[in-house]
Structure 1
């Protein structure tokens, strides 16, 4: 890891930090850069997990947030990389395993999920084509191999043992892994045309529940409530219009939302009563709306249209959009929501990183530690740790 750098805020931040609620839904396969680093705080803020890229290989290092002393990590060796990762509890991480082949330097995700404690101990495969292999030194009953892709739906913050996932079956199953070259046929474009099922997955026993339901569309994103029950789903094959559904009485009911072919949900409120989405409006593409899922009332929340998802700044739990990146050099962001701690924090720091894309990326539940991610014109991601007690930013990646 390169040397840590510190920079002190020029102005004091006098914010009232309130506890945050846990993320209701998270995407798994998409949304990360395997060739770049990543950083996430444990819910209690005690630990900081860092995805480190060294000589093209991606591993995980965990440090104590206060002092940045290393306490452990995960390294899968030469032919495997750490993919996207999340804190399942205050001390346990859940992550994807990416695989490399001799003829291809680009790692691929073959559906496997791995869990380990913050110190790297008690690591186990909990989902995937190798999950059924006997664990050395373990007396646990051999688990059935799963030929599929796992995708995280919810970390289920009220349950320390289970997470909610979708499982997409691999066409060809075990045949793909009898010959390593056959695995090269597994492409994301194929995955996006397949249907999935929903399960609970136990992090301790590695047991996966029977299916709750089957997806109403290929390439589905599921939305769960704070009680971890399924509420909504949206999806569709690439190049087709996204369809949205409500989960009622163990069945999917299609919803009539969106007027154009650019409809895309981007945020759901914490209580799941409102949704923010992009959609065509008249002849304009990419207008931003807020939709009340109870009253079915729609409101445009930003005057300008022709927006892309990457221009939107979301809360960490993806429950709201509070800023939009503009093309104005003097005012690079338009703040559209100020009634949240994250929006206030963002408004106070955005000028520090002039000319860069800025995200408030992670924070501890007590609000004492924050992570800010920036992206410059060179497309490189940088991560900064902010301590409220010290009023100090430290570059960590």
Structure 2
């Protein structure tokens, strides 16, 4: 059996093993998928090959659980099934050696459906044996899924896989307090045995919170933390030296790795002098910076790096509009392979998830705005890529809508980037849904978004905007949103809506605005400030009352929370009332749909209930959905189906052609 035949058989075996074969009848390009098709979880999350190439580990979601299956490549027999109890999920994993896998886990707790990472690190042999918690709140338990026992209460985060010590990893320890919340104290470093969980204590961080970076010998050399609520970075010239704080211009630093001499560190950096995250090499002695790549408008993002077999950075994607690749080592075999894959999968982003130790084989993930992701087995010697499986095989890329980057000018002259998703073969102007993102310190990318594709499949154009206050466009753009949550940010969103109308993209009589978290806040504020621009508004897990947010949100538990809220929201009580939707519902002229989770800690449901009360008092038409055990957003698949079904019905009711 050749590799191609083995891969085809492997794909069938995986699907049969978990009864996940879904037969699709032939359908036209205009097929109307069900709501569940778009909101159900991906079958496969990630796939990585073992160092020798003997096994492939795949994570897969079954109901609320994310588990792992391991296949032997020679005969495609399933040799391992690794999972915790039905409430546990594998978030990320790596092969520590050819026998053992290490996993970072999250857990669905008794009182809430949304999974929460508690810093648990698990390890298991590829066949599922010797599975145990090696760090975290369950580390006193004997095996994965065991009942919690007393032990050291701390969350763990993996710092270094220690390539030269295949039986150990370095872990940062973050003490927990009541409610399993991370305390903002100085974390410590431990060397942890991945078989037994035994640990040896290492250095302590020089400041609160944050994360460590090691050199090529596994020595701690950098720490990014917080002082007085602001990002701060410290370094050690050698492993014996004391910590020194980097100058202010070096504080917003995201380090990747040291060079082969442990003399310079590759890192993303932005500051008052360098507005956008650019890629630099910093000499650890002189602190001299050498520019590698500095974008003009957007920040480089750490998840977009291209690394070789040794973990060295050899390229990165720049996400301005769509994407483009930059390579830094033309002699690198990884660069040659990546270029080859980029040509073969033109128009799709390429991520190499893992290599074998000899570099002869890799697992590759490709995807774009119409494709949620396909995995391939790549033979670097024959230069052949064989299809393995898709994250969501039931969603056919040819049926999905195209996402196009846009730029428009806000009313004060600032350029705002965004994206338009248009239904296939739709007439223009079309009904439109505006989806402001959450955060606000986040951004939308040119990518596959299930909810935008759902709405496009129902005939709606979708507008996404990276308003001021969004991250990803430099510090000036980010900070321009401070204390402007209820004013200038909302004007940017409304300006985008007017732009779409002026361009003939949107039907001005059939527009709804919908968002989650800060996006829900923006949806409500937009229909308050611009009541004649929209026909309806929808918010899920929204922020509707500044006072409740400052007092009851989980962000209020952190040190320097008051300083953070003052910086981004302001401390003017009258302005807080003016910018809080619960006090402004009398200005709303359109129907509203509010959905919230009863266990939401980020935007507590009390403020959604206050909003409901205010809507009733002002006789505003509204619909309400509450899922008692959900957190910040809906996680349980049936709850997601319920919400998105109601969302589509609500939007269709209030933007139908009959209402024009």
TM-score computed with the length of structure 2 as normaliser:
0.47
C-alpha distance in structure 2 between counterparts of 1:237 and 1:373, whole Å: 38
Q: Does 1:324 align with 2:330?
A: no
When residues 145 and 225 of structure 1 are mapped into structure 2, their CA distance, relative to the original with a 3 A threshold, is same
Counterparts of 1:126-275 in structure 2 under 5 Å? 126-133=134-141, 145-172=151-178, 176=179, 183=180, 186=181, 190=182, 193-209=184-200, 211-236=201-226, 240-246=230-236, 248=238, 250=240, 252-256=242-246, 259=249, 262-275=252-265
Residue in 1 that maps onto 2:366: 374
In structure 1, what is the Cα distance between the partners aligned to 2:215 and 2:205? Answer: 17
Q: Distance in 2 between matches of 1:133 and 1:378?
A: 44
Alignment check: 8 A CA contact 2:159 2:213 kept: yes
User: Residues 262, 112 of structure 1: CA spacing in aligned structure 2 closer, same or farther, 3 A cutoff?
Assistant: closer
Equivalent residue, structure 1, for 2:82: 74
Q: Which runs of 5+ in 2 are unaligned?
A: 1-9, 15-40, 390-660
Which one of the candidate residues 117, 122, 132 is aligned to 1:114? 122
Say if 1:268 and 1:318, in contact at 8 Å, map to a contact too: no
1:365 positional shift = 1.2
User: Is 2:371 the counterpart of 1:365?
Assistant: no
Change in Cα spacing, 1:281 to 1:266, as seen in structure 2 (3 Å) is farther
Task: Say whether the 8 Å CA contact 2:314–2:335 is kept in structure 1.
Answer: no
CA deviations on 1:66-118 (whole Å, 9 max, x unpaired) are 45432112022321122221212111111123211354332112222221111
Taking the aligned partners of 2:163 and 2:209, their CA distance within structure 1 comes to 25
Give me the whole-angstrom Cα distance separating, in 1, the residues matched to 2:339 and 2:163.
29
Indicate whether 1:394 and 2:386 are aligned.
yes
Change (3 A) 1:299 1:95: same
Q: What CA deviation, in whole Å up to 9, does each residue of 1:275-300 have, x standing for no partner? A: 22222373632233222334543222
Q: CA deviation at 1:376?
A: 1.9
User: Residues of 1 paired with 2:248 and 2:155: CA distance?
Assistant: 30
Q: Are the structure 2 counterparts of residues 78 and 285 from structure 1 closer, same or farther at C-alpha, using a change threshold of 3 Å? A: same
Matched position secondary structure for 1:223: strand
Alignment partners' CA distance in 2, 1:230 and 1:372 = 31
Structure-2 change in CA distance of 1:256 and 1:195 (3 Å): closer
| Counterpart check, 1:290 vs 2:286 | no
Partner Cα distance (2:306, 2:209) in 1: 22
- Please give the per-residue CA displacement for 1:160-217, whole angstroms capped at 9, x wherever unaligned: 3322211111123xxx4xxxxxx5xx3xxx56x44210111122332222x2211123
RMSD after superposition:
3.3
Distance in 2, Cα, partners of 1:35 & 1:310: 26
Residue 307 (1) aligns with residue 315 (2): no
- Given the alignment, which residue of 43, 51, 73 partners 2:51? 43
Partner of 1:25: none
Give the number of the structure whose residues are more often strand, by fraction: 1
Three-state SS of the structure 2 residue aligned to 1:104 is coil
Determine if contact 2:337/2:380 at 8 Å carries over to the other structure: no
Aligned twin of 1:8: none
Given that residues 311 and 326 in structure 1 are in contact (C-alpha distance below 8 angstroms), is that contact kept between their aligned partners in structure 2? no
Structure 1 pair 286/241, CA: closer, same or farther in 2 (3 Å)?
Answer: same
> 1:298-320 deviations in whole A, cap 9, x for unaligned?
22222533323157423155422
Q: Which has the higher contact order (CA 8 A, sep 6+)?
A: 1
Question: 2:512: which partner in 1?
Answer: none
Aligned length: 347
Paired residue secondary structure (2:108)? strand
TM-superposition CA deviations, 1:343-369 (whole Å, max 9, x none): 111111112223322222210110111
- Classify 1:134/1:66 alpha carbon distance in 2 versus 1 (closer, same or farther; 3 Å): closer
The structure carrying a bigger helix percent of its residues is: 2
Which residue pairs with 1:342 in the alignment? Answer: 334
Partners of 1:268 and 1:320 within 8 A in 2: no
Name the CA shift for 1:311/1:223 in 2 (closer, same or farther; >3 Å).
closer
- Structure label with greater radius of gyration: 2
| 2:487 corresponding residue in structure 1 | none
